Structure 1
Amino acid sequence: MDLPGSSRVKRGTLMLASLCAAGGLFVSSAFAAVSVSKAEQLKTILTPMGGERAGNGRDIPPWRGGLSMPPEEYTEPGQHHPDPYPQDKPLFTVTAENMGQYSDYLTDGQKALFKTYPDTFRMPVYQTRRTAAAPEWVYENTYKNALRAELADGGNSLLYSYAGVPFPILSSDDKQAGVEAVWNHITRWRGTYLQIQASEVAVYKDGKFTPTTVEQQVEFNYYRQDKTIEDLDNLLFYYLSVTKAPARLAGGAVLVHEPLNQANDARQAWGYNAGQRRVRRAPNLAYDTPIAAADGLRYADDTDIYNGSPDRYEWKLRGKREIYVPYNNYRLTSNSASYNDILRPGHLNPEYTRYEKHRVWVVEGTLKDGKRHVYSKRVFYIDEDTWGISVADQYDMNGELWRVSMAYMKTYYELPVTWTGMDVFHDLRDRRYHVQGMTNEEPEEIDYSSPPPGDRYFTPAELRRRGRR
């Protein structure tokens, strides 16, 4: 079987990739992303994911392994996560009145939120806790990827990467580094298999909302430990979602097979219509296709802040900054808070949010000539410890700032994995916003405890069966 995304890979190259996957240090210079001596920095001055181990000597501490053990209160899979830092209090709060004092640590999108909601939007800033963590086998594979991963098709295809971040040490070329950072976000560690029932809501200007509840299953084929680099078959993950409420939407379902390299194979998607009882291909579920449940506030590639092929944008690394990002948002995702407690006109209730100062990679994407998208430019602020996009500023076709997205992250210490607790998508003009991934009123949060059901489960036939329930 050929490596993902390359039907022309020769047998010798396949054998080389196999040696790398097995942990061998024989790496051809033709395929090595960085030298062995440089990759060794992932064990010394850099974290295993490529962040700086050292702090800034002031308010960003050194990384000391992250949060990899649950507190005693966490006793069973799927339980809502107890806050590991219940005694933490805000150090200060950024408001519209004092934001000039903190301007260097805010994105343009965050500043716009203060200007749009001057009386109500606030950012409580807490002690920075570098809780990001992943299993050792993910770190080991990230090290191997540093030695072997490469890009093809102008940066639109990823080769020789498996079960870890592909480019923990970015290229010195700003354009190549930009698309490498985007690939790191697309392939970052989010677990191997998860089940979750969650709600998403579009919140109107007056604060009214109606939750849409969905049951989701995701299998990250890229992180299957029972596979090898040759077995990926150009598949990043499977996604199956079934709508449970409201009644008018219940029974509808979506299935996605997400390829690693969409330059070679397009995303495959199917939808099940409960009223018609039919499964149909959904070939347009990508890029700027509107998501129905989001009431026009989220497009297909906004999900997870960004997903899918990077081929429509020219990406460029703009450097690294220290900014205030949502982090360790355990109170926000707690089952002691209701949706009515959290959702306010214009934005989330600041009383439940937590921001910390972290270092982020700044990546700018500019729409390519001849390509179509509603966003002419996207600026991503990517957490150095996880490669997850923390904040995204999105611009319209006139170059005006239009939308702001934020991932309210926390560490799921039972794995461990540091990922979003909920994602929020703001439309600055309409003064509305969309929230995805709310579990506060659900009996459980993400359940990572079950084994992956396997490739044969995520089929159109299963989509039909699940949608009928």
Structure 2
Amino acid sequence: MVDSTGRPTMTSDQFTRTESPYYQVDLKDRDPQMFWRTYSVTKAPARKSGQFSMLTDYLDMDAKPRRAASYTPGQRRVKLAPEFTYDTPVSELGGATFFDELFLFSGKMDRFDFKLVGKKEMYLPYNNYVHYSECKDEAQFSGAPHLNPACERWELHRAWVVEAKLKPGQRHSYSRRMYYLDEDGSGAGMFDAFDQGGVIYRAMVNMMIQLYDLPSPYAVKSATYDFSKNAFLMVGDASAGGFIVAPKALPEVDLSAEAIVGRETVR
């Protein structure tokens, strides 16, 4: 996280693994209704080392809502975490991001009315190879509360514009969100979020690259700007850089919360 003076602070150093079981049709041990699964194990700072969190989302979230779990070394047991949804702040990210805005949007859509506004040409973060491969450590930061422009690439693209308005009687920190999603594929996009007074509160941009060997668009890095604090959060290995596409999927038996905690954390 970078504060209003431009000073960066590492909120957490984590190992994160993400997969989409719905597309792993060759793996017979996967639940075909499981759309997305991700887990993180905190490595630093020392006071948080060994903490674990896991999110699992399904195609029909009315029939089968998000299943979330957490583990803290001091408690020494895995617990269900139904609070890991909607506008609950993600503590590992300094509270600067909600659970339902991971990767632009995450989780159940029932608290908002979504409307396709149309399509427009606009500049989107795109083909950010410099950001992924060359802008590492302090080079990503500019001494101001925004990403170093030398690390960014923006291209003029057609974008779908989607408006999300909070439903009457529902509660959320945002009253409205405007999404701008690349027409050509997933991974590129951004949103503006407004508070209950209609004032812009946050904005988030996804930094996309192409994985030509797969082939697939891919976005693991994102920046969230908090205009109420004049600060921003960089997610996705902001300190060290680097990521890998796992060459082989783990068997399902190794992906239960208990198995991951036993293998990758300190009890």
TM-score (norm 1): 0.54
Q: From the superposition, tell whether residues 439 and 431 of structure 1 become closer, same or farther in structure 2 (CA, over 3 Å).
A: closer
Q: 1:339 aligns with which of 133, 137, 140?
A: 137
Q: Secondary structure at the match of 1:331?
A: helix
Q: Secondary structure at the match of 1:271?
A: strand
Match of 2:160 in 1: 361
TM-score (norm 2): 0.92
Map 1:412-431; keep pairs closer than 5 Å.
Answer: 412-431=211-230
Q: Which has the higher contact order (CA 8 A, sep 6+)?
A: 1
Match of 1:217 in 2: 17
Q: Show structure 1 runs of 5+ residues with no match.
A: 1-201
Distance 2:227 2:59 in 1: 33
Q: Is the 8 A contact 2:53 2:70 kept in 1?
A: yes
Distance 2:96 2:19 in 1: 26
Match of 1:454 in 2: 251
Q: Secondary structure at the match of 2:47?
A: coil
Between structure 1 and structure 2, the one with the greater Rg is 1
Distance 1:342 1:205 in 2: 16
Q: Which amino acid aligns with 2:206?
A: A
Q: Which amino acid aligns with 1:338?
A: K
Q: Show structure 2 runs of 5+ residues with no match.
A: none
Distance 1:209 1:439 in 2: 10
Please list the CA deviations of residues 11-31 of structure 1 after superposition, one character each: whole Å capped at 9, or x if unmatched. Answer: xxxxxxxxxxxxxxxxxxxxx
Q: Secondary structure at the match of 2:43?
A: strand
Please list the CA deviations of residues 372-431 of structure 1 after superposition, one character each: whole Å capped at 9, or x if unmatched. Answer: 111110110010111445110101011111111101111122212112241010011210
1:391 aligns with 2:193: no
CA RMSD of aligned residues (A): 1.8
Map 1:22-421; keep pairs closer than 5 Å.
Answer: 202-211=1-10, 212-226=12-26, 232-334=31-133, 336-344=134-142, 345-388=144-187, 390-421=189-220
Distance 2:104 2:145 in 1: 19
Shift of 1:371: 1.1
Q: Which amino acid aligns with 2:130?
A: R
Distance 2:32 2:20 in 1: 13
Q: Secondary structure at the match of 1:398?
A: coil
Distance 2:238 2:223 in 1: 14
More helix by share: 1
Q: From the superposition, tell whether residues 249 and 404 of structure 1 become closer, same or farther in structure 2 (CA, over 3 Å).
A: same
More strand by share: 2
Distance 2:261 2:115 in 1: 42
Q: Is the 8 A contact 2:137 2:238 kept in 1?
A: no
Q: Which amino acid aligns with 2:200?
A: L
Q: Secondary structure at the match of 2:92?
A: helix
Q: Secondary structure at the match of 1:448?
A: coil
Distance 1:337 1:440 in 2: 10
* Alignment: residue pair count: 263
Distance 1:421 1:236 in 2: 18
Please list the CA deviations of residues 106-160 of structure 1 after superposition, one character each: whole Å capped at 9, or x if unmatched. Answer: xxxxxxxxxxxxxxxxxxxxxxxxxxxxxxxxxxxxxxxxxxxxxxxxxxxxxxx
Q: Secondary structure at the match of 1:359?
A: strand
Aligned identity (percent) is 32
